[in-house]
Structure 1
Amino acid sequence: MQPRLNIIWLGIILLVGLFSLLYLWFTLFPGQVLPDALKYFSAEQVDQGRKYSRAQQLLFISSFLVQTIFLLWMVFGGRAAALSRWCQKLSGGNYLGSILLFFLALWILLRFINLPFTLYGSYFLQHHWGFSTQNMGAWWIDYLKSAGLDLILSAIGVVLLFWSMNRWSSTWWLACAAFISVWMIVQSFLWPVVVSPLFNRFVPVDNPEISAIVHELSQKAQIPVEQVLVMDASRRTTKANAYFTGLGHTKRIVLYDTLLNNYPTDAVKAAVAHEMAHWRQGHIIKGLTLSIIGSFVIWGLLFILLRLTLPTPMPYPPHTWAIILLFFLLISFASSPLQNSFSRNMEEEADRVAVKLTGDAPAAIRLQIVLSTKNLSDLSPPTFIQWFSYSHPPALTRINLIQQYSKP
């Protein structure tokens, strides 16, 4: 059963192709540095940030294009259908067995294809720029943990997906969207306490000064902050960061130990205030709500597309999984500007609320300057790259906005 190329596929592929060309063009030719950037950063810092960002962006777009071309070749070049028939034969006609064999074969192929990009980007590149503190053995342990978790969860998901597709021929997409929605909520509860500890150690903040800062800010924000944890980020990187995660009793603010150890107290306070602002403004709930709405739209589009792509879909053959993977890869890339736009808006709101909580705009600005310098951020990214791929506003934008927020 050879998949058919149709007008919807062509539209998605053309859009992705256009975005890819623009992304590659502005990565290679980022344009002039904004004059305002040189008010806060040296020419050398700007240059270093651009070089590091360019390397990361080239890795990202290269990895994406290689995976996309491979899956297009598999799906529309007949290779996926041939592999599907081989899996059916090898499984002795057992439907579930052929599904799992096809899933495993494609999972291994994609892992193999993407491994050079992952290894270079997260190990060699990070060592070259002085960020990584891991040795090769520790990197492989992390990689195998992540791959094993992905394999188990994905295999379970594939079995449930094909079961629902064949059981509810007209409404399976609603069931899948509902299941994914529930999974996103459950994951938000469980990820901080089940998955994250597999990779890092988390301990409560034991610095009395930081504890006092958290207590002060939580009173101002009028929110009960039960957990502020320190993560042993230094076992992998010299980069500093902080984040807010979880729902209900698993809500917590997590600070990198590199932030606490290498940054002044007022900068740490600004970082805590920013994460607390996410909490106060309900950004995780808002993000989940938008994701759930998007999930129903995307699964509905997939349902329509599969009906047009497979001539006689019932029961869905094993290579349907390759079509689904290709669809989600392309849609995730094409919808990046929309997803990142929502994220940037929430980050700007968190910056605004954080400045109100601390009353210390200069500290928030210093935090942005030091973070951007030490993490080698692109200090003058092209407008298209910002629009397409930035989940946070660039440093200069944040600094200018923080200055505006501090004005009476």
Structure 2
Amino acid sequence: MRKAAILACIGLAACPLAAHAAVNPGFDVDAATRAYLNLLQGPARAKSDAYFEGGYWLPLWSTLIGAVVFVALLASGLSARMRDWAERTMRRRWLVPGLYALPFTVVTTIATLPWSIYTDFVREKQYGLMNQTFAAWALDAVKSFGIGLILNALLFIVLFAVIRRFRRTWWLIGSAVMSLFVAIGALVAPVFIAPLFNTYTELPASPLRDRIVAVAAANHIPSEHIYVSDASRQTKRISANVSGVGPTIRITLNDNLLKRTAPEEVVAVMGHEMGHYVLNHVWKLIGAFTIIFLLLFFVVSRAAPSLIARHPRWRVRGVADPAAAPVLLLLASICGLILTPVQNSIIRHNETEADIFGLDAAREPDGFAKTAMRLSEYRKISPGPVEEILFFDHPSGENRVRRSMQWKKDHVPGATIVIPGPIDGK
């Protein structure tokens, strides 16, 4: 049945006009789209564009700041001294990289802390998206740091063991290890990590829950548990997601979505999230990013040895030396920045598929269009085609509204253009 749903979705996506062209030949998709786009004008649109366009530069600045930190660790000899300390402290060689990872994580976190405070707190507060006080934000940051400390230690132990054991093909096996870590993280995070930051409760019985369960049942999706997170204590953003793999897969909506949107919008968003589940996007993303890891690890494996050899003052003995971590991460971060448009396009493709599925499943084109406009609080609504390819990991709001209105023309008998209410209300 799931295969049938996928094939149906693909068929509708590939040829909607051929199947439904005669339903509403007089419905003006352009006019219906403009009715929604007109909700965002003047200062509100300028603010949205400024926030999102400013974000174009954040990955570049993050990479440059990280590069400065990594080079400083190498040039000062601090990376080598941390390695020496780990070797003196730990007799078991295979655990030395994990011990090295502890001061390495502490130093790099402190060095980049001002930038993290600006991007994750100050900037969000500046644009009215942050609901937390600095103290509350800092507490969450400390939790993230603790988790990162443990994960980095484990990852360093495994990856450097692979590099030592497989001198020539470590990049191949290392990419598989990274994918395994991602899969395990996806399995564990919804149950053990996410609750450290938010409280998750069952969506209470209501007509809205009944509608969501009905959409899920029609598409053969388990709906025993529908979770709500208290994200409003942190952010103003509306959101929902499908997370986990296998037994931990769950569909979650945040309380902002419930508080700030109408029932038809919630159902439309949940239809989209169900699309991620039915179309196996979690596994597809893991597979796609495995290919990215392969390319990234290959480039690093070729560039790192020569870079280390040219700088004997770093006192790095080779790629298998834990002190080489800043070299490997420097090269990886540069490659990751270059590949950002590729990563964005992979995610955006999946989001487009989920949009199409959600429209078919929820049958709420106006609800989905209104939600797309609400997301314009922090996403530029009408980018150029190249701009969308390079910087957007979701379809633009204008494309989502237009797709919704086209679906309405093709599937809703007697469809008329709706003049929607303001974005800040239901």
In the other structure, the counterpart of 2:340 is 336
How does 1:279-318 map onto structure 2 within 5 Å? 279-311=277-309, 316-318=320-322
Alignment match of 2:81 (pick from 75, 80, 86) = 86
Alignment match of 1:264 (pick from 262, 265, 268) = 262
Contact kept, 8 Å, 2:162 with 2:173, in 1: the verdict is yes
Tell me which moved more, 39-48 or 52-61.
Answer: 52-61
Instruction: Name the CA distance, whole Å, in 2 between partners of 1:235 and 1:164.
Output: 42
Instruction: Name the CA distance, whole Å, in 2 between partners of 1:376 and 1:85.
Output: 43
Contact kept, 8 Å, 1:201 with 1:231, in 2: the verdict is yes
In the other structure, the counterpart of 1:393 is 395
**How far 1:114 sits from its partner (Å)?**
1.9
Contact kept, 8 Å, 1:88 with 1:94, in 2: the verdict is no
Instruction: Name the CA distance, whole Å, in 2 between partners of 1:88 and 1:362.
Output: 59
1:312-351 deviation line (CA, Å, top 9, x unaligned): 9657333311111112211211111111111111111111
Instruction: Name the CA distance, whole Å, in 2 between partners of 1:85 and 1:269.
Output: 55
In the other structure, the counterpart of 1:61 is 60
Matched, 1:355 2:353: no
Alignment match of 1:378 (pick from 360, 374, 380) = 380
Contact kept, 8 Å, 2:48 with 2:378, in 1: the verdict is yes
Instruction: Name the CA distance, whole Å, in 2 between partners of 1:401 and 1:118.
Output: 36
Instruction: Name the CA distance, whole Å, in 2 between partners of 1:147 and 1:351.
Output: 34
Amino acid at match of 1:45: A
**How far 1:293 sits from its partner (Å)?**
2.7
1:113-160 deviation line (CA, Å, top 9, x unaligned): 321122122222323333222122211110011011101110121122
Instruction: Name the CA distance, whole Å, in 2 between partners of 1:318 and 1:108.
Output: 15
In the other structure, the counterpart of 2:22 is none
1:194-217 deviation line (CA, Å, top 9, x unaligned): 111111111111042222112211
How does 1:21-32 map onto structure 2 within 5 Å? none
Instruction: Name the CA distance, whole Å, in 2 between partners of 1:340 and 1:315.
Output: 30
Contact kept, 8 Å, 1:217 with 1:358, in 2: the verdict is yes
Closer, same or farther in 2 for the Cα pair 1:43/1:100, shift >3 Å?
Answer: same
Amino acid at match of 1:288: I
Alignment match of 1:243 (pick from 241, 244, 256) = 241
Structure 1 SS opposite 2:198: coil
Identity of aligned residues (%): 24
In the other structure, the counterpart of 2:171 is 173
Unpaired runs of 5+ in structure 1?
1-34
Instruction: Name the CA distance, whole Å, in 2 between partners of 1:298 and 1:384.
Output: 24
Amino acid at match of 1:86: R
1:250-282 deviation line (CA, Å, top 9, x unaligned): 111110101111211011111111101111211
Contact kept, 8 Å, 2:383 with 2:396, in 1: the verdict is yes
Matched, 1:200 2:204: no
Alignment match of 1:345 (pick from 346, 349, 354) = 349
Matched, 1:321 2:325: yes
**How far 1:109 sits from its partner (Å)?**
3.3
1:23-46 deviation line (CA, Å, top 9, x unaligned): xxxxxxxxxxxx998534222221
Contact kept, 8 Å, 2:267 with 2:364, in 1: the verdict is no
Amino acid at match of 1:265: P
Alignment match of 2:162 (pick from 164, 167, 170) = 164
Unpaired runs of 5+ in structure 2?
1-33, 310-315, 411-426
Compute the RMSD of aligned alpha carbons. Answer: 2.7
Amino acid at match of 2:181: W
TM-score, normalized by length of structure 1? 0.82
Closer, same or farther in 2 for the Cα pair 1:155/1:224, shift >3 Å?
Answer: same
Amino acid at match of 2:273: E
How does 1:21-170 map onto structure 2 within 5 Å? 39-72=38-71, 78-79=75-76, 82-87=77-82, 89-90=84-85, 96=93, 99=97, 103-170=101-168
Amino acid at match of 2:399: T
Instruction: Name the CA distance, whole Å, in 1 between partners of 2:270 and 2:83.
Output: 54
Closer, same or farther in 2 for the Cα pair 1:138/1:118, shift >3 Å?
Answer: same
Amino acid at match of 1:405: W
**How far 1:377 sits from its partner (Å)?**
2.4
Structure 2 SS opposite 1:133: coil
Closer, same or farther in 2 for the Cα pair 1:209/1:168, shift >3 Å?
Answer: same
Contact kept, 8 Å, 1:191 with 1:246, in 2: the verdict is yes
Alignment match of 1:406 (pick from 402, 405, 408) = 408
Amino acid at match of 2:200: F
Instruction: Name the CA distance, whole Å, in 1 between partners of 2:35 and 2:265.
Output: 22
Aligned residues: 368
In the other structure, the counterpart of 1:229 is 227
Instruction: Name the CA distance, whole Å, in 2 between partners of 1:122 and 1:84.
Output: 27
**How far 1:189 sits from its partner (Å)?**
1.4
Amino acid at match of 1:47: A
Instruction: Name the CA distance, whole Å, in 2 between partners of 1:249 and 1:320.
Output: 38
Instruction: Name the CA distance, whole Å, in 1 between partners of 2:385 and 2:119.
Output: 24
Closer, same or farther in 2 for the Cα pair 1:181/1:118, shift >3 Å?
Answer: same
Instruction: Name the CA distance, whole Å, in 1 between partners of 2:338 and 2:380.
Output: 23
Instruction: Name the CA distance, whole Å, in 2 between partners of 1:84 and 1:354.
Output: 50
